[in-house]
């Protein structure tokens, strides 16, 4: 089994909408970031695996003056432009592209955090295994 040690300033475990947006935000702020997702797609409930639409502030256009902002709005606008049929698989691709092509962000799909190490109240390492090939990605040290 191959074991490596990787160093990041922030490791986000969980690639649902919140985790994906948090990782992209941190990377855009200049932090070297890892996003760990134990599924093959990002988005959590909004992915093609679960197929739950993002209701958002406008509650499916029930509140016309309310809207999302920031990275979520960026993703939703990209989805409206590229995905008029509202296919969940296309939305999966849009989320993957946003994470995969983001500078300072390393994306690990089908990867499971199996252990964490902390000192006092600070997590210093997370151990991550690749589920598809049963290799250990290794320890991800969180450094500042």
On whether the pTM is more than 0.75, the answer is yes
Residue 62 lies in a domain: yes
Written as six digits, the tokens of 5 are 């040690």
Kindly report, residue by residue over 75-130, the tens digit of the pLDDT: 999 999 999 999 999 999 999 999 999 999 999 999 989 888 888 988 888 888 88
Residue 87 lies in a domain: yes
Residue 27 lies in a domain: yes
Residue 51 lies in a domain: yes
- Number of structural domains (the chain) is 1
Q: Which of 106, 99, 56 is nearest to 80 (CA)?
A: 56
Residue 7 lies in a domain: no
Domain that holds residue 24: 19-111
Residue 130 lies in a domain: no
φ, ψ of residue 110 to 5 degrees: the values are 55, 40
Residue 6 lies in a domain: no
Written as six digits, the tokens of 71 are 């990275």
**10 Å Cβ neighbour count for 47?**
22
Kindly report, residue by residue over 71-85, the tens digit of the pLDDT: 999 999 999 999 999
């Amino acid at each position: 089994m191959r074991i490596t040690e990787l160093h990041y300033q922030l490791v986000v475990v969980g690639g649902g909408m919140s985790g994906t947006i948090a990782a992209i935000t941190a990377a855009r702020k200049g932090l070297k970031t890892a996003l760990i997702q134990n599924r093959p797609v990002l988005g959590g409930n909004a992915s093609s695996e679960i197929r739950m639409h993002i209701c958002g502030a406008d509650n499916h256009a029930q509140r016309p003056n309310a809207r999302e902002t920031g990275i979520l709005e960026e993703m939703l606008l990209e989805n409206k432009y590229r995905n008029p049929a509202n296919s969940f698989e296309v939305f999966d691709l849009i989320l993957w592209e946003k994470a995969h092509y983001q500078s300072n962000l390393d994306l690990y799909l089908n990867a499971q955090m199996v252990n964490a190490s902390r000192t006092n109240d600070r997590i210093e390492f997370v151990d991550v295994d690749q589920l598809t090939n049963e290799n250990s990605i290794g320890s991800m040290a969180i450094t500042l």
